[in-house]
Amino acid sequence: MAKSIPKIGSRKNGRIGSRKYVRKIHKGVIYVQAGFNNTIVTVTDLRGRVISWSSAGSCGFKGTRRSTPFAAQTAAGNAIRTVVDRGMQRAEVIIKGPGQGRDAALRAICRSGIRLRFLRDVTPLPHNGCRAPKKRRI
């Protein structure tokens, strides 16, 4: 019986395309999503392909410590360390959410040596919001 030839792009063998060399990335976009319970930092290239990501939970913080500024700073440092090694020099930063980790993550990004092209806050703000619950009668 003939042996089947595995496809290069199949998900079974875990390899999609060839990665013999690490792609150099000079510009990218850093997304910081700061919620009340966690801070997620994602680094993408200009086309939107994710290069690296980290969160306060994946850095080992659990419970209420996940929402602290120190956890956000650690998460941002972990996400950026890999892209700095790949040669990223400039980035755009997009921050979303009302959490405590916003400023700490931004400070960690500035300290990493990446030059920021612009900083955009895309936190959704309600123009009128949801209907308020009915008044409590005692």
Domain boundaries, the chain: 27-121
**Helices within 1-138 (DSSP H only):** 69-85, 101-111
CA 22, 51, 110, 55 dihedral sign is negative
User: What is the predicted pLDDT for the residue at 28?
Assistant: 93
Short-list 44, 47, 42, 38, CA closest to 68: 38
Phi, psi dihedral angles at 87 (to 5 degrees): 105, 20
Residue pLDDT, tens place only, 10-58: 555 555 555 666 778 889 999 999 999 999 999 999 999 999 999 999 9
How far is residue 62 CA from its own chain's centroid? Answer: 18
Q: Where does the pLDDT of residue 1 fall: very low under 50, low under 70, confident under 90, or very high at 90 and above?
A: low
User: What is the predicted pLDDT for the residue at 22?
Assistant: 72
Q: What is the mean pLDDT of residues 75-92?
A: 91
Residue pLDDT, tens place only, 96-125: 999 899 999 999 999 988 999 999 999 999
Question: What distance in Å separates the CA atoms of residue 132 and residue 40, rounded to the nearest whole number?
Answer: 30
**CB 75 within 8 Å of CB 60:** no
**pTM listed for this prediction:** 0.78
Residue 33: other Cβ atoms inside 10 A? 20
pLDDT at 2 over 70: no
pLDDT at 7 over 80: no
User: What is the predicted pLDDT for the residue at 96?
Assistant: 96
User: What is the predicted pLDDT for the residue at 92?
Assistant: 94
Question: 27-121: CATH homologous superfamily?
Answer: Ribosomal protein S11/S14 (3.30.420.80)
